Structure 1
C-alpha cells in the first residue's frame, strides 16, 4: 500500500474533486468520522459537509496556514478488499497518524483498475493547534507497511509495487479544473525529485506541459518575489491564464523553492559517493556513443534520462544538458554534476563522432536492452529520440528531448517509489508581541 499526503488551504476544492467522482458513479462515501453528517447510499451533501468542517478550520486561536489534510491510500491491484475492510484500513491509518479525534470523511474511488481511498480531514485540533506533522512521511510509510502485515496485503516493495498515482500525466488545458491538474503534477514531482535551480525545475515541469516564471518587482518601496505557473499546449506555447503559487500551495512559492535549491546543492556536495554510479554511467556512455539518441539509450539501463537544450538560432547547437537521475531522485545540469559533462563537451563530442567512420556506433548486440513500460490509461504519447520537441526555454530558445522509451513513462514508473527523504519543514515566521505601556 502506498500513501500520498497533501496539505492545503481550502477544503472546498478537495471535497468538490471527490464530489465529481461521486457524480460520475466512480466513487462512494464510506465514513464520516466526528462529523454531524452520515452518508446515505454512498452519497453526501457536499455543501453541508463544507459547513460541518468550518468550526474546525476557522478556529479563532489557530495559526495553521494549511489546515486541510488529504491522503490517498492505494492498495495493490491484487488486493481484493470490500467496503468494510477499506473502512477498517482508513480508520486504523487515521488513528495512528494522530487524527483519531479529528473530523474526517472517507471516500472510495473506483475510477481506475483498483479501488483506493481518499481521506479528507482537518489538521486543526479542538484547541487550535495543528496535529503533529513531524516526520509525517516516515511515519506514514512505516504505518502502511504495518497495515500490509496486519491485513495481509501485498507489500509495495521495489519491483512489486503498483503505480499509485494515475493522475500523473501531462496537463491538458482543454480539460476541466486546471488548478487541480497543476497541483497534482507539482505535488508529485516535488515529492520525488530534487533540483538546484529554477532552470532544472522548469525543465522537469515542461515534460508535463507546465511552465513557471519568477516575478520580481517593487510595491510602495518594498521588493517582492513570487512564482506563477501555467499550462502549455502540445506545441509548447503558453495557453490560458497563469496561477500564482499562493493559489496552489506554499511549498511551490518563491521562498520554499529557494530553500529547495540550496538544500539540493548541499545534498549534491555531501553525497558524492551516492552519485558516483551516475557519473560513471555517463562517462561510459560518452566513450562509445556517436549521437544524442544513442547516448540517451545507453543511459537508460542506469535509470538516467537526458535532455539536450538546443539553439535554433545557431543551427541546433547544444547550449545546455540536463540529467534526470531517477534512482537518486535528482534533476541536475550537466556542469553541476561534473565539469566534464558541460554542454560544450557534448557538442564537440557528437560533432566529431559524426564525422568519423562508424567505428563508435553501437551494434544491435551492444545496445542496452530497453525496459518494458506498462501502458497507462490516457497516458500521453511521447516522441521517440529521433523526434524533436521544440518549445520555449531559456531566452526563447528551443530544446530537444532524447529519452529512449519515453521519459514521461519513466517518471510515471518512478512516481511509485517506496523510498524518499523527508523534506525540511518550512519555518513559520513568528509574530512580534506588542509591548504594553504600564
Structure 2
C-alpha cells in the first residue's frame, strides 16, 4: 500500500477527477463521504469551498491522496461491496492515523488500472475552522502505510523489486529507480569500497 499526497488550491478540478463517473474507463464509484452535499460534483466542490472560506488566507486548502494497493492484493479488493468496504476502512484508518479528523472528505474508487486504488479528497480546513497540519506528512505517511500494510496482511514489495512497473514512472523517478537498483546490485557483489566504486563507474 502506498499513498501519494498532493496539495491543491481548487476543489472543483480535483473532485471532478476523483469522482469522474462519466469516464467509462475510469468508472469512478463514490464509496464514502462526510460533510458534503453529494448530489453532484459541483455541490461537493461547493461544500468544500464554503468550509474553506472560513480561512481565506490559506491558499491551498485541498488535499488529494491516491491510495494504491499492489496488484498482488486484487483478491482482497474484489469489485463488489466487500472490496469497497475494506478499501473505505483502510482509507479511514489512514486518515485517522495521519491526524485527519473532523473534516469533510470524499473517497472514490477507480477501475482503470490493474492494481486496486481509490482517491481521497479532504478539506484542510476542518469543521471548526482549524487548519489541519501537513507538517512532516511524507515521513508520517510512510510510517502509516507500512503499519496498515502489516496490520491488514497486504503485499510488501521487496525493497529492490524487479517486479515494479517501470513504465508508470516519470523520467526523474525512473532515473532514481535505476540508480538505486544499480547501487544495491553493486553492493551485493562488492567486497571492498574500491570494488563498489569500480562497478558503479563501469555502469557510468
* TM-score calculated relative to the size of structure 2: 0.74
Contact in 2 for aligned 1:63/1:129 (Cα 8 Å): no
Q: CA deviation at 1:148?
A: 0.7
CA distance in 2, matches of 1:138, 1:56: 28
- 1:169-196 per-residue CA deviation (whole Å, 9 max, x = no partner) reads 58xxxxxxxxxxxxxxxxx86xx79xxx
Count of residue correspondences:
176
Alignment-derived partner of residue 47 in structure 1:
42
1:11 aligns with 2:11: yes
Counting only pairs closer than 5 Å after superposition, residues 274-285 of structure 1 correspond to structure 2 as 280-281=197-198, 284-285=201-202
Q: CA deviation at 1:149?
A: 1.3
Alignment-derived partner of residue 187 in structure 2:
none
CA distance in 1, matches of 2:167, 2:120: 15
CA distance in 1, matches of 2:140, 2:170: 28
1:76 aligns with 2:70: yes
Structure 1 gap ranges (5+) = 38-43, 171-187, 194-275, 286-297, 300-438
Contact in 1 for aligned 2:101/2:126 (Cα 8 Å): no
Q: CA deviation at 1:70?
A: 0.5
Alpha-carbon spacing, 1:281–1:122, altered in 2? closer, same or farther (3 Å): farther
CA distance in 2, matches of 1:281, 1:7: 42
Alignment-derived partner of residue 159 in structure 1:
160
Alpha-carbon spacing, 1:35–1:165, altered in 2? closer, same or farther (3 Å): farther
Alpha-carbon spacing, 1:143–1:137, altered in 2? closer, same or farther (3 Å): same
Q: CA deviation at 1:97?
A: 1.2
Alpha-carbon spacing, 1:165–1:52, altered in 2? closer, same or farther (3 Å): farther
* TM-score calculated relative to the size of structure 1: 0.37
CA distance in 1, matches of 2:53, 2:71: 39
2:93 aligned counterpart, secondary structure: helix
Counting only pairs closer than 5 Å after superposition, residues 15-34 of structure 1 correspond to structure 2 as 15-20=15-20, 22-25=21-24, 26=26, 27-34=28-35
Q: CA deviation at 1:110?
A: 1.1
Q: CA deviation at 1:62?
A: 4.4
Q: CA deviation at 1:67?
A: 0.6
Alpha-carbon spacing, 1:127–1:165, altered in 2? closer, same or farther (3 Å): farther
More helix by share: 2
Alignment RMSD? 2.8
CA distance in 1, matches of 2:149, 2:84: 17
2:126 aligned counterpart, secondary structure: coil
Alpha-carbon spacing, 1:163–1:98, altered in 2? closer, same or farther (3 Å): farther
Determine which structure has greater relative contact order: mean sequence separation of CA pairs < 8 Å that are 6+ residues apart, divided by chain length: 2
2:154 aligned counterpart, secondary structure: coil
Contact in 2 for aligned 1:77/1:162 (Cα 8 Å): no
- 1:83-106 per-residue CA deviation (whole Å, 9 max, x = no partner) reads 111010111111111222110000
Higher-Rg member (1/2)? 1
Structure 2 gap ranges (5+) = 78-82, 178-192
2:45 aligned counterpart, secondary structure: helix
CA distance in 1, matches of 2:57, 2:135: 17
